[in-house]
Amino acid sequence: MGSLAASALMAAGGCATRKTTADGNHWALLSDIHIAADPDVTHNKVNMTRNLRTATEEVLAWPEPVSGVLINGDLAYNSGKAEDYAAILGLLRPMREQGLPVHLALGNHDHRAHFWTAWPEEKTEDALLPERQAAIVRTPCANWFVLDSLIKTLTTPGRLGDAQRAWLAEALDQNADKPALIAIHHNPIRGAARGNALEDTAELLAILRPRRHVKAYFFGHTHRWSVSRDESGLCLVNFPPVAYVFEQGQPSGWVHAALHPDGARLELRCLDRAHKDHGQVIHLAWRS
């Protein structure tokens, strides 16, 4: 049975590991599912429960077995009610029954205590990470570092904080044998515009940029789909929402990622098959 989130327990010489199915290199990447306890709730004329069910069916029907699923925050619809997480658990059951690991990050619409109440076995127990839900997920070609940028439920910007950044720096140094892929719900600050992004972006990038085995930063939050690089060559991948978009013309859906030692193949899977970007393939080459 797959785990819903990998605990980030530090151990002497390394961290706890969760196994994946299939070959370990094929991933379904989702974000911003915004599930409400009531399956009939809609937002912007979108039924979020129906969208997640559709995405789940496609993930399970993928021709090549998917190794794992990452859902990168904003699991709950609005304020992370306990009933929302019960509904999420039910909607993810088809994946879990197929033995598919599902790894969850938290976003600004989530409630950390309610999440831990729903899945107490998944609470991060590391003394270096009080009140944070973090994970290291190991695959043959890369290690995922899944971080917690939730400041407080319904506080829109994000922050990792000093303790989590220190933990990340140590974990990256202890796991430098493979490409490192960073997954955080909040988007990095780009240029002068801060908006509702990750408040400690500069401090995070000071950790990521000089560690050349860190290859990509994956995020959600903006309900947009985009792929770019920063000046250090770090790949920046913005997941589309499974739920609703903020801007007309943006896709909702998920991303299939095939990892290989030198990069990744990303394929956008739009819930609206008629969307102009449905099936778009982007080949990422990791920085040297």
Interatomic CA distance for residues 251 and 243, integer angstroms: 10
pLDDT at 214 over 50: yes
Mean pLDDT of the chain: 91
> CA-to-CA distance for 281 and 279, rounded, in angstroms?
6
Poorest-pLDDT segment among 24-28, 44-48, 123-127, 279-283: 123-127
The rounded percent of the chain whose pLDDT value lies above 70 is 92
One-letter amino acid at 109 equals: H
Q: How confident is the model at residue 10 (pLDDT cuts 50, 70, 90)?
A: very low
The arithmetic mean of pLDDT across residues 93-116, rounded, is 95
Strands 143-146 and 180-183: parallel
Give me the mean pLDDT over the 218-242 stretch. 98
Inform me whether the pLDDT recorded for 17 exceeds 70: no
Higher pLDDT, 203 or 193: 203
Give CA–CA dist 217/149, Å, rounded: 13
Domain segments of the chain: what residues? 10-285
Identify the CA nearest to 145 among candidates 6, 31, 25.
Answer: 6
Residues in the chain: 288
Mean pLDDT of 144-158: 97
Which of 214, 209, 246, 249 is closest to 231 using CA atoms? Answer: 209
C-alpha closest to that of 17 among 119, 121, 136: 136
Query: How far apart, in Å, are the Cα atoms of 77 and each of 29, 31, 46, 54, 81?
Result: 19, 12, 12, 17, 9
Q: How far is CA 52 from CA 58, 180, 232, 255, in A?
A: 10, 28, 35, 13
Is residue 105 within 8 Å of residue 183, measured between CB atoms? yes
pLDDT at 119: 83
Q: Which residues contact 25 (CB under 8 A, 6 or more apart)?
A: 67, 139, 140, 141, 258, 259, 260
Give the E-state strand segments of 152-225 in sequence order: 180-183, 214-219
Provide mean pLDDT across the span 136-163. 97
Cα–Cα distances (Å) from 203 to 73, 159, 174, in that order, read: 21, 10, 19
Residue found by looking up tokens 């993810």 in the block: 92
Tell me what pLDDT residue 97 has: 93
Q: Assign domain 10-285 to a CATH class.
A: alpha beta
Q: Which residues have a Cβ under 8 Å from the Cβ of 162 and sit 6 or more positions away?
A: none
- Joined together, the tokens standing for residue 110 give 């989530």
Residue 20 has pLDDT above 50, yes or no: no
